[in-house]
Amino acid sequence: MKKITLLICSICLLMGCSQQSTNLSTFKNTGNPLIKDKFTADPAPLVYNGKLYLYVGHDEYYEGQDAASGGKEFNITEWLCYSTDDMQTWTDHGSVLRPTDFAWGIGEAWASQVIERNGKFYYYTTVQAGEPYNSKVVGVAVGDSPTGPFKDAIGKPLITDDMTSNGPRGWWNDIDPTAFIDDNGEAWLCWGNGTCFLAKLKPNLIEIDGQIEEVDVPNFTEGPWLHKRGNIYYLTYASMGEGRETISYATASSMKGPWTPHGELTGMAENSFTIHPGIIEFKDQWYLFYHNAVLTLDGHAGAIGRRSVCVDKLYYNPDGTMKYVEQTPKGI
């Protein structure tokens, strides 16, 4: 009887898992913005096992949002994940992490990125932390799958306000983490608003290894992104243009610099004050993910806190510099 009961339970569990996987919704890429049923921002792509996973913040409308200011225009209480095999058909995996999944987090989920090492997935995030931090911090969660579940990896923030200089942005300097693992296995974390911070990570990816450095690149605002192509390292970031953010970048022959600026990679996003790069190679094609604010959803037009993720192809010049990217409604 016990064997029969266990068999029935196993079958039910398998059926449940199968039902859960088949219940995931899919959609076709119909041009930019890529995701049209939710406001989304701060795209962070990851390639793993032949799939591209895209992590985004969920911009959520609330009553009174249009009259808010000082950062309160943004209302993100969860991060979402999407995946694709071909950049055309996308699967919606729903919410995969919330700031309240951290015991010390009290809300305001800003930009994030996921990287993989040895079958573990590390989710570096921006969270508003409560006592005793009372500031924006960088947290790290870990999971066994690119879609989670993710759990706080260390029980406290990885980066706190007392670890970095209070430059032009004060208590919200520590936002928008990007993580990168070099070919030699060294891992790096870069983040910041107003000041660009860079630090090496220990092999466990949940501790800083050594000093936190400041990277001096022109017009740095926020949203850094690290990647490498060949022997060239790229630091791409949101930079201040003429009244709104653009995307600029710098290159180096080593993660330790020096970093050579190359100006704008793309201009201001339509209708959006902010913009945020996410760069990845997938099936021999490079892509630039970003966001604008052209989507109208449920009668609410795009705005500073109601953005929409987009993607266009990215190309390189023979000298390794990146070609300027024209933001297009057609996308890919």
CB-CB contact of 224 with 178 (8 Å): yes
Q: Dihedral sign for Cα 314, 316, 322, 324, please.
A: negative
Copy the structure tokens of residue 306: 């109601």
| Nearest-angstrom CA–CA distance, 171 and 160 | 9
CA distances from 331 to 82, 109, 153 (A): 17, 27, 36
Q: Is 40 strand, coil or helix?
A: strand
CB-CB contact of 150 with 112 (8 Å): no
Copy the structure tokens of residue 86: 């071909």
In the predicted model, residues of the chain with pLDDT beneath 50 are: 1-21
CB-CB contact of 309 with 41 (8 Å): yes
| Nearest-angstrom CA–CA distance, 43 and 315 | 19
Model confidence, pTM: 0.92
Copy the structure tokens of residue 261: 């600026």
CB-CB contact of 206 with 194 (8 Å): no
What number of helices (H) and strands (E) belong to the chain?
1, 20
Quote the CATH superfamily of domain 38-314.
Glycosyl hydrolase domain; family 43 (2.115.10.20)
| Nearest-angstrom CA–CA distance, 146 and 143 | 7
Q: Is 300 strand, coil or helix?
A: strand
Residues in the chain: 332
| Nearest-angstrom CA–CA distance, 240 and 33 | 23
pLDDT at 165: 84
pLDDT at 169: 63
| Nearest-angstrom CA–CA distance, 110 and 251 | 26
* 77-100 residues labelled b (16+ CB within 10 A) or e (exposed): ebbbbbbbeebeebbebeebbbbe
Q: How far is CA 217 from the centre of its chain?
A: 21
In sequence order, what are the beta bridge partners of 122?
A: 115, 142
**How many Cα atoms sit within 13 Å of 97 on the Cβ side?**
38
| Nearest-angstrom CA–CA distance, 227 and 190 | 11
Pairing state between β 278-282 and 260-266 = unpaired
| Nearest-angstrom CA–CA distance, 22 and 316 | 39
pLDDT at 37: 98
Copy the structure tokens of residue 283: 């099936």
CB-CB contact of 193 with 42 (8 Å): no
| Nearest-angstrom CA–CA distance, 176 and 180 | 13
Copy the structure tokens of residue 154: 């260390």
- For every residue of 246-281, DSSP letters joined together read EEEEEEESSTT-PPEEEEEEE-PPTT-S----EEEE
